[in-house]
Structure 1
Amino acid sequence: MKIIVLGSGVIGTTSAYFLAQAGHDVTVIDRQPAAGMETSYGNAGEISPGYATPWAAPGVPAKALKWLTMKHSPLVIRPKFDPHMWSWMLQMLANCNARSYEINKSRMVRIAEYSRDVLKQLRADTGISYDERTKGTLQLFRTQKQLDMAAHDIAVLQQSGVPYNVLDPKGCESAEPALARVRGNFVGGLQLPGDETGDCFKFTQKLAEMAKALGVKFRHNVTIEHLVIEGDKVTGVKTSQGELKADSYLVAMGSFSPFLLRQIGIKIPVYPVKGYSITVPITDAAGAPESTVMDETYKVAITRMGDRIRVGGTAEITGYDRTLRQSRRETLEFSVNSLFPNGGDVSKAEFWCGLRPNTPDGTPVIGPTPYRNLFLNTGHGTLGWTMSCGSARVMADMLSGRQPEIALDGLFMDRYGNINKPVQVPSGITVAA
């Protein structure tokens, strides 16, 4: 089958690879000059199934009000005259309850755990390397209240069978020896030993080359304009280089997916939440993290990547504005300097931002649409790197007529109710677990 994948970030590239591996004739279209050049370029580097947690959680509205008054706030809201922004925020608030949180987290963990397993197999099969480390994630708590609140996440981890360790300060120092230099800055941590780290951009670039070896054609510097529709079927995609045709189409355009889909009457609540990162050259290896440390207070991830430290985080709701703001850099610098003051030289850091495609419930939108040959793989938020291989494998199986290896309930766009026409699930694919 001939398939066009729209988008060449980590989601589009992994989708193309697994589709080609399944025997399909795949073409990828992207406006950028190479794979992984937008949100996949400078993310925090975590592959964190155990940390797959929706932002919409009990108590978040109250926390958000407090965060907005902090100098180094994890959240910044810059209001726009954009109904999609306000609709998305209202839907997110509606998910800030215990029942929704448990449902949403279980869905996210399901696909994230599967994705890590698929990535492990991919690594074993191909030998792909990307500054990977398999030493887990340490969620670091600066206050006793944060440590106590971790009980909610631990309960879901237990239900999902995800391994974890609750650590006292000495245990944190054992996991991350450099933290001994800042003893007293934290009260404990939650270690997720099954998590991994790696350079998402490096992975995406290398996998794109492997996909080309399987026959995938990448058409870069091509603008996607609109989909051509006849009845309940897509017949082509209009681009800056003319109309391209295939048997099926997969939208993996991250935060820009809704623009394309609204043109054909599909509404999905995917909205950008801007994140920032700095990439710091290591000056003292013993003073740098061993893996990833998640600074719970500032929602900043500090990750070892070869001879660099990637410091990523903060959430800025500001539409599609990609302005680099110095105040956000200062927050990232403050977090890493307070925990790893001797690890790297922040004055030489590369400063970057990207638009994370978030859904209000945290779970990505994966699967069929009301058009029988149009499929979605988008809305992964901060977890695109974590969920990429699993999401891609699910879509490759579905488009190949094979039942995916994980349950599909709660992953389709129809979980948002009847704002759209019913999705057309391919024959032979069962939704329920």
Structure 2
Amino acid sequence: MASFLGSALHGAAALFLALAVLLGLVIWSIKRHHSPKLKIECDATIDTLMPSLAGLSLGSVTFGNSVELFENGAFFDVLIERIGAAQQTVHFETFLWKEGVLGQRMANALSERARAGVKVRVLLDATGSKKLGKGERQQMKDAGCKVVMFHERSIYTIGVMNDRDHRKLAVIDGKEAFVGGHCIVDDWLGNAEDGKHFADLSLHLHGPIVHSVQAAFSENWGGQTGELFVGDDVFPELEAAGDVAIHAAYAKPEGSAPAVKILHHTVICLAKKRIWIQNPYFIPEPEAIDAFGEAVKRGVDVRVMMPSTSGSDNPMVQHAGHRNFEKLLMCGVRLFEYPHTLLHQKVMTVDGVWSAIGSSNFDDRSFDTNDEITLGIKDRALAGQLDAVFEKYVGRCHEIELKAWQNRGLWHKFKDNLFYVFNEVL
């Protein structure tokens, strides 16, 4: 009998192991199809390729837009003021919302509009917003806001629990929009004056691009609720509001790379003069590192600014990024770490004429898994503003030098390699 039980247990263990291996192969296969090795050859300058960039990232160029850049806590004054001016609809989507002063301000603004008869739809990531105050949520629902959580834990979401809604956007009356990196957490208030106040950037948009931002909101709202919305209160006719060309990257097609990944990789390959990146979580894939190296060989000035482990809200991510610093430095990429607070802006400028700004981090999670939105913008003035933000912070950064980096301590190297193993889920 004991022999029989032993054989049965061994058989069950072997079956379990085989199933685990099979599941691992399935996951690997799915990821492989979402992560092709991207390559491009082109001699044209990026300012002439807006239709190509939009098409490759599954969008269309919209002309006649205006953009206004807002930094740090000042952004919320504008956002809340514009929510208060809404006449028909307010659509708000974010990843992080924690109970606090800012959360209460937002809840008050959204609730007031709902009580005034405005249709208010709020979409929050269930993981990122798990610390949303119960009072704030109940207040909004009691006022008439529709508050929906993206991928809440349940048997129905087991297969998509790793997929998070990382977008940060708002659309007012279908006529104006906000896109960027700001979260509804008190740490985003202030002006990045100390380690308890973060730095960030978001855009206020008018013009036809607002339809694209509304479409991004509609994608996840419809997926979560089944509700589709139409009409002039959400998709009104939009006249030109400026002279800026913009396209939005947010789609995640089945069986191929997400639009935000294609966009970021493509512009690295197109750069002729410089690439300046500001990103809080910088863990490029090997092919991206190679693309940076090729850009440097073409004479491109490649610089990346990010928080250090002491400035980050997630030091494990910074250590995971450290694992590839040596290769990046050997490729000629200049790396700067900011130790004073979290630099949360997700920005890239190319050749002083084109910019990317939105919710996307420069890592596997954003490029392959999360729902994100990044705007590609051809506007020399905005690129200059974003580069000025880079220069403002880089003066207080520590630039990483190759020789000193190679001589960092064994404990530091151990943590870098250990946390890199988990880089796809950090």
In the superposition, the TM-score normalised over structure 2's length comes to 0.22
Greater strand percent: which structure? Answer: 1
Q: Which is higher, the Rg of structure 1 or of structure 2? A: 2
Which structure carries more relative contact order (alpha carbon 8 Å, separation 6+)?
1
Greater helix percent: which structure? Answer: 2
